[in-house]
């Protein structure tokens, strides 16, 4: 039997910006927790074969469970520098590694957090009609939170800096 772990190949880094004040919630769900809605103002992405911008209008609809885990459900539209459009969906989990107070501070006060404080992993799926980028539709791609120069929660202009994620293709 082959017990080797699969390899990873770097795909891109994505910097997201959020629409300030766009958080809307439904609290006290019958199954527990709350459902959120957060609008994306846009963002950028760069990688060896994939560069461009995240178009405004994407949305994140996570479920914040009673066990302090944020179940991620995010959808966004990417536009490459050569004009191709790619639909992206992320599903995954965000939680504090050790200190639940870190999650609470991030949630309630938009305090910046370090990737060392937060576990954030997503599995991404893609749709595109372009032959140049359709390799994305045939691979498992995973993403993780990384530290950035613009901490989550900082505001510039009409946008709020959101998370920075790094994505890898599973080989």
- The domains of the chain, with CATH numbers, are 8-170 (2.40.160.20)
Q: What local confidence, expressed as pLDDT, does residue 8 receive?
A: 97
Radius of gyration for the chain, computed over Cα atoms and rounded to the nearest angstrom: 16
State mean pLDDT over 98-122: 72
User: How far is the C-alpha of 160 from the C-alpha of 18, rounded, in Å?
Assistant: 5
Q: Are 136 and 144 in contact (CB under 8 A)?
A: no
User: How far is the C-alpha of 148 from the C-alpha of 44, rounded, in Å?
Assistant: 13
What band does 138 get if pLDDT is binned at 50, 70 and 90?
Answer: very high
pTM of the predicted protein model: 0.89
pLDDT digits 0-9 by tens, 76-86: 999 999 999 99
Q: Are 42 and 54 in contact (CB under 8 A)?
A: yes
pLDDT digits 0-9 by tens, 1-50: 888 899 999 999 999 998 988 889 999 999 999 999 999 999 999 999 99
- Sign for the pseudo-dihedral over CA of 68, 118, 56, 151: positive
The total of other beta-carbon atoms located within 10 Å of residue 67's CB is 9
Eight-class DSSP state of 134: G
User: How far is the C-alpha of 141 from the C-alpha of 13, rounded, in Å?
Assistant: 12
State mean pLDDT over 67-91: 96
């Amino acid at each position: 039997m082959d017990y080797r772990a699969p390899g990873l190949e770097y795909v891109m880094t994505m910097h997201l910006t959020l629409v300030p004040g766009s958080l809307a919630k439904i609290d006290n769900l019958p199954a527990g927790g709350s459902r959120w809605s957060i609008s994306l103002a846009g963002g950028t992405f760069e990688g060896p074969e994939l560069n461009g911008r995240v178009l405004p209008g994407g949305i994140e609809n996570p479920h914040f469970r009673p066990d302090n885990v944020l179940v991620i459900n995010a959808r966004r539209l990417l536009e490459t520098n050569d004009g191709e459009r790619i639909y992206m969906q992320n599903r995954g989990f965000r939680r504090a590694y050790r200190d639940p107070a870190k999650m609470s501070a991030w949630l309630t006060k938009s305090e910046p957090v370090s990737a060392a404080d937060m576990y954030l992993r997503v599995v991404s799926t893609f749709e595109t009609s372009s032959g140049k980028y359709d390799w994305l539709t045939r691979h498992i791609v995973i993403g993780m939170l990384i530290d950035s120069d613009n901490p989550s929660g900082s505001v510039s202009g009409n946008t709020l800096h959101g998370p920075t994620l790094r994505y890898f293709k599973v080989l």
